[in-house]
Structure 1
Amino acid sequence: MNNYIEKLEFKNILNSISTYCTFFLSKKMSLNINPSKNFDEINSMQTETNDAKRIIEQGDNFSFSAIDESDIFTKEIIENEIININDIYQLNIFLKECNKIKSIFKNSKKSNSLLKYVNGINELNNLIEIIDLSIDENIEIKPSASQKLKKLRKKSLSSYESLNKELNKILNNKNYSNYFQSDSIRYISGRSALELKSEYKNKFKGILHGSSSSNNTSYIEPLTTIDLCNQLNDYQNQIKEEELKILKEISNNIFNSQTNIKENIDLSTNIDLIFAKAKYSKSINGTINLKEKDSHHLKLIQCRHPLLGDSAVPIDIEIDDNETSVVISGPNAGGKTVALKTIGVLSLMSQSGILLPCSPDSKIPIFKDYFVHIGDEQNIDKSESSFSSHISNIIFTLRNCKKGSMVLIDEIVSSTDPDEGLALACAIIDYLSNKNCKTVITTHIKGLVEYGSRKKWCKNYSVNFDLEKNIPTYKLIEGIESNSFAIETSKNLGLPEEIIVNAKKNLSDDYLQYKSLINELNTQREGLKKIKIDLEKKESQFLKKEKVLKEKIQKLDLEKQKILDEHLLEKKKELDNFKKEIKSIRQEINTSEEIKEVKKKIKKIEKTNFTLNGSDTLKYEYRVGDFMQLENISSTAKLIQIKSKNIGIFQIGNSIMELPLSKVLSVVKNYKNKTTTSYNTKIDASDYELDLRGFAVIDVKEILEKFLDNSLLSNEKSCQIYHGIGSRSIENEVHRILKETKFVSKFSAHNDRKGVTVVNFK
């Protein structure tokens, strides 16, 4: 009773796919495709078909069309069985095409879902070589198949030539010139014979092998050629034995490779079917349709019925997760039934791994069952009326449908009293909604349309009608009920004008007013549609302009950044010169008088070589708490205090240092600080100190020298350096550097704190 495959004409789709199959086994398989209900399997099939379509579009292809239908692909091969030479030849073509499939995918750089099939194909090159050496393109065993066969065929040819030479000698003998009907040589049951006139058969020495139907010609083998013919037959028999021996040897090789061959047959059948789906999908401009887990959202966008080709009018229809039903109204021959079939057949195609002729944004859930009521359901054998058959089938649907089922009903309860039909239709659609089925119903019952419009779980659609041209447009429109346009349709079909006029007179005023309102709403809808299109056009233009502006801003930002980078580079060069000056000055310091002189030089350098004031200052807005990358320091620093316009106090590891803000290379965003130690950020002149605990020995020289330089520039009298005790490696490095620094007058261990050195400047 649930013959949805037939009702939705899905077999026609499968027939079309079968024409694209090149292997007879995949052709048979294509006609028996059953839609899957498994989420992973459906998505896998969709991906495979889409990947195959991509390969076809690249120009790569294969074909098993040269292979004839043969038992070798389906039967079990028995040991020592001699396989027919034609079957061996067909198998050889198949194995070569399997290799071609592998080569296509080897050359493909992109990953492909079909690799699981292709990688399983066995390359049986040894078997191919054996067959190629033995069987030629005329499906005959080559003389080179064995040395013995080569010699036998040579001897056979020589024997045949000798026999023919002797027979021609007899034919040309003048003594027998009137004996023969013709100069033809016949071979009858392996014997050579000449066509002799029957009246001379007793005068010619030979063996009679038969005569013509008129008995005018007798076929006689001359006695002189009997031995030659026997010799030829002997060679022929030996050749047959040798050929059978060769075929048996090939057959045994095939038997030994039988498991691998069967794997290749199964895999190639599947691959050929997938490519057939892809070719069909390409012919209908199909797009991939992947399922969403546990989704019940049906959304078809610009969908066309695949059997109608380019002439099909695309439709849009949607039933979201919170909705269960759609009611479609509109004129006869307006496309309601086609819309039903389109929804049904696309769902079947999607669950069968066939790409869909619709927008890639379309969504179709997985349906567990299909219940389709389209066309005449009357059962004459049971003497049922159309209404009884229709209701009987709906009863079957109501008993068997469940959540996840698709129900398609064309012209629900139309063959009965309109009032009672409306009551039944409303009750049925309610029942199906309660069962959480996805239901699409077509109807001319206005009350059902109005009933559906009052339900949150139901949507109304209508097929549109062109009032000016007086023809249906086949477009599906959401939200407004459509007239049936029965009178207009009947007029177009040729109903006499007199009847049309009388029919219009019989329409009630209420109906005419209702119809006028519907037409007015349709006109308003068209107006809104034009406004929507205009707004979408303007939105598109706005987005384009926005894109251009963003590109310009981005370009300006890049130029700005380039200027800043160049300026920063220039300042860094100035800074490097400044460092060199300081370094040379440090080497000159020996006395307090020299220190005073050095300070004067520093002030002079500040004025002439390295000005960070006014317009030359890089205006960065630093904030306390920012993490920063500092010049020549690998560790990330945290700004804990801004001491002045150009000086900041930084926490680097366990150390706190006062450095110029010009040392900042960049601000590190979203930096996760792993240090939990807290510090006193209030540093007085009397507490000028450096904490080197936690630093590597290799970093100490750079940090300490900069600290000492800053001390000199800041006119500090003394400072404290925290280096800890441990292995004393940090302490030794600190003392070594202090000894080499000429403006350090003395240094000594702290009186109260261990691991601290107090430094006094000159």
Structure 2
Amino acid sequence: MNEHALRILDYEKIKQQLMHYTASSLGKKRIADLRPADSLNEVKRMQEETDEGATVLRLRGSVPFGGITDVRQALKRCKIGGILQAKELIDIADTIRGARLMKNFIADLVEERELELPILMELVNSIDPPGSLERKIRSAIDDQGSVMDSASPALRHIRGQIRTFDSRVKQKLESIVRSSGTAKMLSEQIITIRNDRQVIPVKQEYRGSFGGIVHDQSASGATLFIEPQAIVDLNNQLSEARAKERHEIERILRALSEETAEFAEPMLENVEVLAQLDFIFAKAAYGHQMKATRPKLNDRGMIRLKKARHPLISQNHVVPIDVVFDEHTHALIVTGPNTGGKTVSLKTIGLLTLMAQSGLQIPVEEESEASIFREVFADIGDEQSIEQSLSTFSSHMTNIVKILKQVDFNSLVLFDELGAGTDPQEGAALSMSILDAVYGKGATIVCTTHYSELKAYAYERPGVMNASVEFDVETLSPTYRLLLGVPGRSNAFEISRKLGLPADIIDGARLQISRETNQVDKMIASLEKNRKAAEMEEEKARRLKLEVEAKEADLSRRLNELEQSKEDILKKAREKAEHALKDARREAEEIINELHQFKNNGSVKEHQLIDAKTKLAHALDSLEQQDIPNTSEPVHKSVSGFQPGDTVKIISFGQKGYIVDKISDQEYLVQAGILKMNVKASDLKKVKEEKKIKPVVNVRTSGQTVRPELDLRGERYEDAMLKVEKYLDEAMLAGYARVSIIHGKGTGALRKGVTQLIDRHPRVKTARLGAQGEGGSGVTVVEFK
């Protein structure tokens, strides 16, 4: 990409702003090397990765980059046998931890939200943080980068010696310093350090009273820093211990460096991935700060920028512009007064193109589109060089000559005040010829100019569009808005009139300009008037649209409130139904216990059986009367036409049985296990079976409707526990003495839950795992009392 254009369009300033959003030097290095890409597929991928980063930031707000540093130099040094310092090793451990956290962060987010983030997942899946190396480093080095005593048994022993020797030296010196006999010999009663040895400050005249070694003296020579003979040996032992400590630390660091070298290659790859991730999230955060969007992309020279803003101008002051280059338009001629915003519009188009080709989101509205160019050329501003003795015109021409040599159909060319700095007539003619040459090569062009001749040029050439920057004559100031399709017109007469120039002078001036120029000015004024009317209608339509959207949002909110109210009512009803069901189950269990007591006594008397059936029927009736809405199952309407012998399911009780007799169209006598009961037709559901069961009054026939085993494989834990509880009651009603519950082996969670539930059941006598041939540990065999 053309370096001159990157500089003149302030691309480097964008990179400097982008660097503020990186989390490490890794990302900053990526940004420093950033250049616009010229391949459509490459730019699409760069935009997609930025978009994925923006999705993550929108959902999580931030990304865990803490602790990650650029450890590439340290890794390369240990690869060639270098010994790393403790701080470098702890930086490597921190980076390993950061890589692990980042990988888990992205993977967990994708799984939790069921997101599609293919680029980020591809990157984090390539990260392989060596956890064993991290643990070894952290077991030897603390967070401040110091080797810990626990790094090796030898180091712990040596440092114990150091503390012992150091303590003895201090004690000996303190006894000397505090002694009343030596106090007058000392300049100060303190212990200090010289040459890594502990010494005391002794007056010059008492030099011989202590013996030992003189390590230093004061500037005046009145004080000598002496290591008394009494502690020389202790200080020697302390120095030797400290030398051993240094050697042991060096050994530990060498061993850790050698182990780090084994992981250097994958770690270097991890660091490159982390650098790319830092770069991606920096782009996403920068886009969020600018309120930017992801543009559509093409490589056919089509540009559609909606409400485009220059990113280096404060959002409080920048005026958005619309820019359109469709399949029929490839050149834009922008006219208007000085300081009206022509150059800013030109730079906005160029800079946003460069940003889009760098994978950055751009400050435009949704559905905007950018084109990919192989080269962007710019001739902007007064680049007069005094050193080269070039005039403004010469400087521009020198640059334009370079552009003409390189430009092709895949180029964006930006001309600011083309042809300026020379005779207006010659400059206008030269400008049109240059535009013809560049346009003839198929390039996309944006040109600003003062020459009125170029207004006609746009009308006469297919594919060329006029545009202008708006000027408010009433306030005598530019609005900085870019008006497409409308050429700029001279406002000199209107401005002069507003400033008080006599009308006769203005009228005289009008007579001096050509009839054609007057007609063009009138045409432009008419176009401006029509444009303003259209803008007013558009604004009116926009307000109406906003009102409709607001009403729609209000209706949607009310509907949501109604749905929520409905859910609350259903929730309360379900809770009420659950309480009723628990009470019914409890009462049914009490009835079952009574029946078992009757059975244990050896006989079941008729009146006892009738009382038990009456209680159970009463429990079922009370449950049936509850208002139990269930949105997950269809409502069963009353069904008539059951015949004796039909197999049915009692809906409210969940128990199968068969029709014994018809009491009325709305009520039937049903045999369920050992019980007979009157059940309403609305509480019955017919069970499809080919063979009908004949009515039998024998209590023992109920076992036909319940299997002697329950298969829980594939069930969720909570559902399985409910099925076990219900099955045990049904099996006891059916008269089984022993049943099998198949739960499988798996993780053992289901088996543990079944065992706990059985242990709490009042009617279970024993429970054991299945023997060989019975299913082993995948089956629990239950015997009832």
- Superposition TM-score tier, normalisation by shorter sequence: 0.5 to 0.7
Q: CA deviation at 1:499?
A: 9.5
For structure 1, the residue ranges without an aligned partner over 5 or more in a row are 550-572, 581-762
For the pair 1:348 / 2:354, whether they are aligned, the reply is yes
Contact 1:471 1:489 in 2 (8 A): no
Give the greater-gyration-radius structure (CA). Answer: 1
Answer yes or no: is the 8 Å Cα contact 1:284–1:309 preserved in 2: no
SS at match of 1:360: coil
Q: Work out whether 1:205 is the aligned partner of 2:207.
A: no
- Does residue 450 (structure 1) correspond to residue 456 (structure 2)? The answer is yes
CA shift, 1:514, in A, is 5.7
Aligned to 1:4: 5
2: CA distance, partners of 1:456 / 1:265: 53
* Contact 2:72-2:268 within 8 A present in 1 as well: no
Give distance in 2, aligned partners of 1:276 and 1:202. Answer: 70
Aligned partner of 1:101 in structure 2 is 102
**For residues 126 and 539 of structure 1, do their structure 2 counterparts lie closer, same or farther at Cα, with a shift above 3 Å needed?**
closer
Alignment correspondent of 2:164 = 158
Which residue type is aligned with residue 307 of structure 1?
A: L
Counterpart amino acid of residue 302 in structure 2: H
1:29 maps to 2:30? yes
Question: Structure 1's 268 and 535: CA in aligned 2 closer, same or farther, altered over 3 A?
Answer: closer
1:81, distance to aligned residue in structure 2 (A): 2.6
**Partner secondary structure for residue 472 of structure 1:** strand
Pairwise CA distance, 1:24:
1.1
Question: C-alpha offsets along residues 2-22 of structure 1, whole Å, 9 cap, x if unaligned?
Answer: 600011000000001111112
2:301 and 2:371 in contact (8 A); partners too: yes
- 8 A Cα contact 2:75 2:264, kept in partner: no
Q: Which amino acid aligns with 2:318?
A: A
Q: 3-state DSSP class of the match of 1:364?
A: strand
User: In the TM superposition, what is the alpha-carbon distance from 1:25 to its structure 2 partner?
Assistant: 2.8
Does the CA-based 8 Å contact 1:105-1:115 persist in structure 2?
A: yes
Q: Give the deviation of 1:270 after TM superposition.
A: 1.0
Q: What residue in structure 1 maps to residue 137 of structure 2?
A: 131
Partner of 1:304: 309
1:386 and 2:388 correspond: no
Q: Residues 646-685 of structure 1: matches in 2 within 5 Å? A: none
In 2, the alpha carbon distance for the partners of 1:250 and 1:208 equals 41
Shift of 1:503: 9.3
| CA deviation after TM superposition for structure 1 residue 76, in Å | 3.7
1:118 aligned to 117, 124, 130, which one? 124
Q: Name the counterpart of 1:90.
A: 91
Structure 1 residues 609-688: aligned runs within 5 Å? none
Distance in 1 between the 2:405 and 2:170 partners? 85
Decide which of 254, 267, 276 is 1:261's aligned counterpart. 267
Residues 547/147 of structure 1: CA separation in 2 closer, same or farther (3 Å cut):
closer
Shift of 1:534: 3.5
Counterpart for residue 340 of structure 2 = 334
Change (3 A) 1:73 1:374: farther
- Contact 2:293–2:366 under 8 Å retained in 1: yes
Cα 1:434/1:51, change in 2 over 3 Å: same
Q: 1:468/1:73 Cα in 2 relative to 1: closer, same or farther (>3 Å)?
A: farther
Unaligned runs of 5+ in 2: 556-637, 644-785
1:272 aligns with 2:278: yes
Over residues 500-537 of structure 1, what are the superposed CA-to-partner deviations in whole Å (9 max), with x where a residue is unaligned?
A: 99996884334677656544432332112223444566
Residue 420 in 1 paired to residue 464 in 2?
no
| Cα contact 1:331–1:489 (8 A) shared by 2 | no
| Amino acid of the structure 2 residue aligned with 1:5 | L
Contact persistence 2:155–2:248 (CA under 8 A)? yes
Contact 1:462–1:481 (Cα < 8 Å) also in 2: yes
Alpha-carbon distance in 2 for matches of 1:134, 1:95: 16
Q: Find the residue that maps to 1:196 and give its secondary structure.
A: strand
Distance 2:120 2:351 in 1: 26
Once the 2 structures are TM-superposed, how far is the Cα of residue 102 of structure 1 from its aligned partner?
0.5
Alignment pair present for 1:474 and 2:510: no
Tell me, yes or no, if the aligned pair for 1:2 and 1:372 is still in contact at 8 Å. no
Instruction: Assess, with a 3 A threshold, how the Cα gap between structure 1 residues 359 and 204 changes in structure 2: closer, same or farther.
Output: same
Residues 1:299 and 1:71: Cα distance change in structure 2 (over 3 Å): closer
Aligned residue number for residue 622 of structure 1: none
Q: Does 1:324 align with 2:320?
A: no
SS of the residue aligned with 1:152?
A: helix
User: For 1:392 and 1:2, how far apart are their aligned partners in 2?
Assistant: 16
Q: What is the 5 A alignment of 1:543-562?
A: none
- In 2, distance between residues paired with 1:144 and 1:546? 68
Do 2:302 and 2:370's aligned partners in 1 also have CA atoms closer than 8 Å?
Answer: yes
Alignment partner of 1:371 is 2:377: yes
1:484 and 1:153 mapped to 2: Cα distance?
A: 88
Return structure 1 stretches of 4+ with deviation > 4 angstroms: 63-71, 484-492, 497-506, 511-517, 535-549
Distance 1:79 1:469 in 2: 72
- Aligned-residue sequence identity (percent) comes to 29
- What is the deviation of 1:70? 5.8
| Contact 1:323 1:457 survives alignment (8 Å) | yes
SS of residue in 2 equivalent to 1:240: helix
Give, in whole Å, the separation in 1 of the partners of 2:55 and 2:548: 35
Residue by residue over 1:619-638, the C-alpha shift from the partner in whole angstroms, topping out at 9 and shown as x without a partner, is xxxxxxxxxxxxxxxxxxxx
Deviations 1:61-106 (A, max 9, x none): 3355656666645744245432011111222221111111111111
CA distance 1:72–1:60, change in 2 (3 Å): farther
Q: Secondary structure at the match of 2:35?
A: coil
Q: Which deviates more from structure 2 when the two are superposed, residues 511-520 or residues 240-249?
A: 511-520
Aligned partners of 2:329 and 2:464 also within 8 Å: yes
Paired amino acid for 1:135: I
- Name the CA shift for 1:536/1:87 in 2 (closer, same or farther; >3 Å): closer
Aligned to 1:437: 443
Q: How many residues align?
A: 549
Shift of 1:307: 0.8
Q: For 2:497 and 2:94, locate their aligned partners in 1 and report how far apart those are by CA, in whole Å.
A: 62
Partner Cα distance (1:522, 1:424) in 2: 29
Post-superposition shift, 1:194? 0.9
Query: Helix, strand or coil for the counterpart of 2:22?
Result: coil
Q: In 2, Cα distance between the equivalents of 1:241 and 1:502?
A: 101
Post-superposition shift, 1:280? Answer: 0.8
Whether the 8 Å contact between 1:62 and 1:100 is mirrored in structure 2 is no
